[in-house]
Amino acid sequence: MKRIYVVGTADTKGGELEFLVDCISKAGGKPVLVDVGTTEPSLAPDVNRHEVARHGTQHAQADLASGDRGRAVGAMAEAFAAFLASRNDVAGVIGIGGGGGTSIATAGMRRLPLGVPKVMVSTLASGDVSPYVDISDIIMMPSITDLAGLNRISRMVLANAASAISAMAQHYSPASDAGRSIGLTMFGVTTACVTQIVERLKASLECLVFHATGTGGRTMEKLVDSGLIGGVIDITTTEICDLLFGGVLPATEDRLGAVARTGIPYVGSVGALDMVNFWAPDTVPDRYRGRLFYNHNSNVTLMRTTREESIAIGEWIGRKLNSCEGFVRFLIPEKGVSALDIEGGAFWDPGADEALFNAIEATVTQTPRRKVVRLPLHINDPAFAEAAAAAFTEIEDR
């Protein structure tokens, strides 16, 4: 039987948790109360903090016993994430908390697949919630008042939250498997290319396009790991530039990791590897003063990558591709990698481009499965989009 996990620190939020459990039961849900507190609870939970802590590492358990609240909260977050990931009866999760409780509960929520209902009632929900939500689909709900005892406002908020999670859990429909879905990466300067690829493939494939802003690439790869995307056309690998050179839209070191782990068919390219992203001009690090910049808008400043940086990018990509044992086709557009990197364009630099292309070719170990293909085209040429679509069609059913 699927159940709704109600999560909070029962040492400080006992009354609120009890009220939430009651509301969920009245709404027809099956609640399971999980205590993630670090001291003695004020009520008896269904899952006590010791059972949760048992799922943490030895190091985490030592931190829980240390008496240091900061260390204990971090350890409980790690343990709760492992605990929740081990459950097979989760219909939904709802958490309540301030700073510590929000950190613990959302750590577990982020481990669950996309689509599983997740609601976090938090005192922090009206601020920057990106550390708590990250690339998941957690719904952050402001608590309005502090969660320091029940009152007419907190009862209203918690009752609404209970109704929301109960309704979502009762009507939750898991996403189907990857089937004929593919992920594509796009940036403004590669939009023409990706749009044309989608037009060529959308009749036979569900095309999910991700904005290559750091979170976009990570979200796509999480869906690959979850089995919800069966192939990737990774035209726009620009997030790697920001990872290597301190830009504001970076990938993580795990970029292309999901492709390696799953062996899905992969077509990649060098889209927007001519640029590192910063915010307004005054946010550019001092070490980059004097470089070639392009003001995309008043809040986004693009910096042209140099020959040396291009070599580092190419080698990084090559090493990652070598770990991919599925079918890989990596396409190189010899006449430019973005709308700015075109003859007469602001970032046109054939020397830097050639250094990038040569580094990729020199690093990749080519096999019948893994090939680097040069094309005498610009990345936004219709013929390049045609080549990318054809390359994916060639490998997707092998």
The answer to whether residue 66 scores a pLDDT higher than 90 is: no
Are 196 and 385 spatial neighbours (Cβ–Cβ below 8 Å)?
yes
* Category of 189 on φ-ψ map: left (φ > 0), alpha (ψ -120 to 50) or beta: alpha
Q: Are residues 151 and 190 in the same domain?
A: no
The answer to whether residue 179 scores a pLDDT higher than 70 is: no
The answer to whether residue 250 scores a pLDDT higher than 90 is: yes
Q: Tokens representing 127?
A: 């601020």
Q: Are residues 241 and 155 in the same domain?
A: no
Are 294 and 347 spatial neighbours (Cβ–Cβ below 8 Å)?
yes
Inside any domain, residue 387: yes
Q: Are residues 146 and 225 in the same domain?
A: no
CATH number reported for the structural domain that contains residue 155 in this entry: 3.40.50.12020
Domain boundary among 141, 170, 199: 170
Q: Are residues 356 and 333 in the same domain?
A: yes
Torsion of CA 257, 258, 260, 264, to 10 degrees: -150
Inside any domain, residue 176: no
Q: Are residues 190 and 138 in the same domain?
A: no
Q: Tokens representing 124?
A: 């922090």
**Location of structure tokens 């992969």:** 266
Q: Tokens representing 243?
A: 């990872």
Confidence class of residue 190 from pLDDT cuts 50, 70 and 90?
very high
pLDDT at 177: 62
Q: Are residues 110 and 200 in the same domain?
A: no
Mean pLDDT of the chain: 96
Q: Are residues 164 and 230 in the same domain?
A: no
Q: What residues contact residue 338 under an 8 Å CB cut-off, 6+ apart? A: 187, 189, 190, 271, 272, 273, 274, 275, 347, 379
Q: How many domains are there within the chain?
A: 2
Instruction: Name the residue range of residue 358's domain.
Output: 181-396
**DSSP one-letter string for 99-122:** HHHHHHHHHHHTTSPTTS-EEEEE
Name the pTM for this structure.
Answer: 0.89
pLDDT in tens, 30-46: 999 999 998 999 999 99
Q: Are residues 186 and 291 in the same domain?
A: yes
Q: What is the mean pLDDT of residues 302-320?
A: 98
Q: Are residues 248 and 291 in the same domain?
A: yes
Inside any domain, residue 320: yes
Confidence class of residue 178 from pLDDT cuts 50, 70 and 90?
low
Are 120 and 80 spatial neighbours (Cβ–Cβ below 8 Å)?
no
Q: What are phi and psi of 328, to 5 degrees?
A: -130, 130
Inside any domain, residue 131: yes
Q: Are residues 160 and 203 in the same domain?
A: no
pLDDT at 58: 82
Inside any domain, residue 251: yes
Inside any domain, residue 83: yes
Q: Are residues 7 and 151 in the same domain?
A: yes
Q: Which of 6-15, 222-231, 259-268, 372-381 has the lowest mean pLDDT?
A: 222-231
Domain boundary among 138, 170, 202: 170
Inside any domain, residue 175: no
pLDDT at 27: 96
Domain boundary among 142, 170, 198: 170
Q: What is the mean pLDDT of residues 140-167?
A: 97
Q: Where are the alpha helices (DSSP H) in the chain?
A: 14-26, 49-53, 58-64, 69-85, 99-109, 130-133, 152-170, 191-201, 215-225, 239-245, 257-262, 307-322, 350-363, 382-396
Q: Are residues 308 and 365 in the same domain?
A: yes
